[in-house]
Structure 1
């Protein structure tokens, strides 16, 4: 199934995406599904790399240009940012500036977290940056983190990750640690608003499918209605399924 159906999206939904291991890909994949029949805003409350132009139809990297596109009637993907920095990263919108754009779009997709392209992360007190208007918070967890070492090469915010998961440097990341990352009050769904959806990414083959299903089963067993929905899949292969 496609992402928009698995997520049961409704017009007007604001989707905030957090975690590591596929946030940006998730945002553009979902935008592509919605693109043809909707006016879709993609943006960030942190910062993201400027994407290839195939991922958007209109771009405004300055708040003074937003009104030009807010009143544009054409369907498509609209990419908004405050400005570009020296690394060619889009500096995002603060939550009040984001709120002002919401009435002009059918769907709003927000990358609300940073991970410096690492497989997994911990969180500082001031992140993620989630709009209060969010309807669904998507937590991205990459199955390829399993078996990797607890170190700065693999983990963004190593000290915070160690604290959340009770890990030590150079240990191997296990299913237990990923589960604790999901449920900890300073973990994946820290500051989440609306429906909490766990997306387990990089399920690209049979081995990854086995591991992802086992992880999902363990999370469901300990869930007690904390996570509202679990989806596993491969954004690369465009294959996703709901876990029940």
Structure 2
């Protein structure tokens, strides 16, 4: 993997050239943090960025937030903000916000009110790793890039219902049993399987695998990242650090 000197290469990875664009985050181990990091990078590059979800998520801090039933019904001046979040409702019983349907976000993108829509399109209930069940994830058809996130801090740790979200699905996809310790072959199967990490990705979408919460001292071997062509780009790092992505690999 190559070291990442600056954030400019991320624009190539995301295929961010002209807008409007919709980018979805799925998986577990830092979806909201990843989207907040991407939002800052894109906003600093002069893009008008909207953060939202097709499921439920914790209310992002330090962002202006709008609640509405239909974002297309909002007045034009709302969209002048360079960085904001928009949701359909606050759910006090779970302490989260509710987002919009994929169809609503497809229509918003087509209207061109913002340059980039960042979507949390999956849930993980605070776990660092998961496999999707039948109704997950919830990715809009207009999505141009899916970032599948894995909590790399789980490597070497015991697997089971207490540590993995949707454990029965994860076990079936990866061939792991309760008590096994997470290893690279299991992660490869999760990434490559059609019902795995990139399940529901629209045709033609760019696929990025993010190994989040990975120590800079982690000794990654070339074979650790052989995904059989299942992804376009691999990012490794920790999105809450100053240098979020420390290593990167692009499919040749």
Match of 1:153?
A: 162
**Alpha-carbon contact 2:55-2:100 (below 8 Å) kept:** yes
Match of 1:18 among 26, 41, 64: 26
Distance 1:82 1:72, change over 3 A: closer
TM-score, with length taken from structure 1: 0.88
Give the paired residue count.
Answer: 234
Task: Report the Cα distance in structure 1 between the residues aligned to 2:55 and 2:232, rounded to whole angstroms.
Answer: 25
Task: Report the Cα distance in structure 2 between the residues aligned to 1:33 and 1:70, rounded to whole angstroms.
Answer: 24
**Alpha-carbon contact 1:44-1:92 (below 8 Å) kept:** yes
Matches within 5 A, 1:194-233: 194-206=205-217, 208=218, 210=219, 213-214=220-221, 217-220=223-226, 222-223=227-228, 225-233=229-237
**Alpha-carbon contact 1:60-1:66 (below 8 Å) kept:** no
**Structure 1 residue 69: Cα displacement:** 5.3
Match of 1:143 among 123, 134, 152: 152
Match of 2:36 among 28, 32, 48: 28
Match of 2:82?
A: 76
Match of 1:192 among 196, 201, 209: 201
Which deviations, in whole Å up to 9, do the C-alpha atoms of 1:135-176 show, x marking residues without a partner? 001111121111111122211111111111111111111111
Match of 1:101 among 105, 108, 113: 108
Match of 2:3?
A: none
Distance 1:31 1:159, change over 3 A: same
Matches within 5 A, 1:34-183: 34-36=42-44, 37-52=46-61, 54=62, 56-57=63-64, 59-63=65-69, 67-68=73-74, 70-72=76-78, 74-85=80-91, 86-102=93-109, 103-183=112-192
SS of the residue 1:26 aligns to: helix
Task: Report the Cα distance in structure 1 between the residues aligned to 2:79 and 2:123, rounded to whole angstroms.
Answer: 32
Match of 1:7 among 14, 20, 24: 14
Q: CA RMSD in A?
A: 1.9
Unaligned runs of 5+ in 1: none
Higher helix share: 1
Task: Report the Cα distance in structure 2 between the residues aligned to 1:183 and 1:30, rounded to whole angstroms.
Answer: 25
**Structure 1 residue 62: Cα displacement:** 2.0
Task: Report the Cα distance in structure 2 between the residues aligned to 1:12 and 1:138, rounded to whole angstroms.
Answer: 17
Distance 1:167 1:70, change over 3 A: farther
Distance 1:174 1:106, change over 3 A: same
**Structure 1 residue 65: Cα displacement:** 6.5
**Structure 1 residue 107: Cα displacement:** 0.4
Distance 1:29 1:170, change over 3 A: same
**Alpha-carbon contact 1:35-1:75 (below 8 Å) kept:** no
